[in-house]
Amino acid sequence: MKTFVFAGMAAALAIAAPVQAMEHKTVIQHPVGPIAADYSGSTIVEMKQIGAAGVAGRPGSLRCTWTVSLSVERDAKVGSALQTRRTMTRANVLKGSAPGWCSERNSGVDRMVEARGDELRGAMMAMVEQDRAVIMAEADKAIASREG
C-alpha cells in the first residue's frame, strides 16, 4: 500500500498548468518606419509536493510549493519589409507554498496568482522594455541587409 502512495506522490511531483494570459501592443519609431510590436504573455504554474504526511498523533511536513514562470511571445512588423518573432521566458516570477497536498491547493494557488496580477503585468512590461533594443537591432540588421 505504501508503494502506491509514494508512486502517486511521485506522479504528482510537478504539476504544471497555464493560468493567465496578458497582451500588450506598442509602436516603436524607427528610421525605416513605425514598428508595430504585439506581445502575448502567459503564465505557467508549477507545483511540487514536498515533505510527508504525519503518522497518527504526529504532525506532518507535507507542503505544496509553487512557482510561476512568465512566457512572452512578440511579433513585430515594419510594413512588409520586416517581420520578426521572439519568445522570452522568465522563471520564478512568483513563488510560494502552502501546507497539505498540491491536488487540494490548485484552485487556491490560481486565486493567489490572479490576486498578484499587477506583479505579473509589471514583469511582462519589464520584458517588453528589454526587448525594445532587440527590435531596434533587428530592424537595423534588416535595413543593412537590404542595402548591402
Q: Which of 41, 46, 38, 45 is nearest to 21 (CA)?
A: 41
Mean pLDDT of the region 123-136: 94
Contacts of 106 by beta carbon, 8 Å cutoff, 6+ apart: 15, 17, 47
Mean pLDDT of the region 24-53: 91
pTM of the entire structure?
Answer: 0.75
- The most confident of the ranges 20-24, 61-65, 137-141 is 61-65
Q: Which three cell numbers stand for residue 35?
A: 514598428
pLDDT single digits (tens) 93-122:
999 988 888 888 777 888 888 899 999 999
**Contact (CB, 8 A) for 17 and 107:** no
> Residue 83 — pLDDT band, cuts 50, 70, 90?
confident
Question: What confidence score (pLDDT) does residue 141 get?
Answer: 83
Q: Is the pLDDT of residue 132 over 80?
A: yes
Mean pLDDT of the region 57-83: 87
pLDDT single digits (tens) 13-26:
344 444 456 999 99
Question: What confidence score (pLDDT) does residue 148 get?
Answer: 59
Instruction: Count CB-CB contacts under 10 A for residue 92.
Output: 10
